[in-house]
Amino acid sequence: MPIHDHEPSFRGRAFLWGGIALGLLFLVALFTHGFGLFGGPGRGEAEPALMVRQGDKIFVPEGSALRGRLSVMPAPTEAVSAKLILPAVVESDPARTAVVLPAGSGRVLELKVASSEARSWRSLIRRIWRKRMTITTKPPIRSS
């Protein structure tokens, strides 16, 4: 018997429409129960919040369920050594190491490059060197 060769019966129609009606009734009951539309028993006074945040402080109200479970005691103090002795080796990363030179005599009168103009230390040194060379070198004298 081919599957497309059947006629709907009364029992089939009743089952289909009954399932649709019960499904809709179930959805309505689920959505309205959460919003309190069935008018269930009154709750009376609302329970206080477990904790209340006021800026950086946390307060536990008097009637809170959390207050009975909390206990407060002073924190113990211990003398702690600031040094840690651990087996380790300190290695420097050459890519992130900067050369620190001792201070020279005299003072800096003028810096030709701002630090925001340089993209790296090498380009900063190149720009300073170029500007210094353009200031200190004289153009060649031509004889005619």
Closest C-alpha among 84, 58, 54, 83 to residue 70: 58
What does the pLDDT read at residue 117? 53
Q: How many helices (H) and strands (E) does the chain have?
A: 2, 2
pLDDT in tens, the chain (144 residues): 566 767 778 888 899 999 999 999 888 887 776 566 666 665 556 777 888 999 999 888 888 888 888 888 999 999 888 888 888 887 888 788 777 777 667 776 776 656 555 566 677 677 776 765 555 445 566 665
Token pair of 53, please? 């945040």
Distance CA 122, CA 49 (A): 61
Q: What is the per-residue pLDDT for 48?
A: 76
Residue 52 neighbours by CB under 8 Å, 6+ apart:
58, 59, 60, 61
The letter for the amino acid at 50 is L
The rounded distance, in Å, linking the Cα atoms of 40 and 33 is: 9
Residues 76/62, Cβ–Cβ less than 8 Å: no
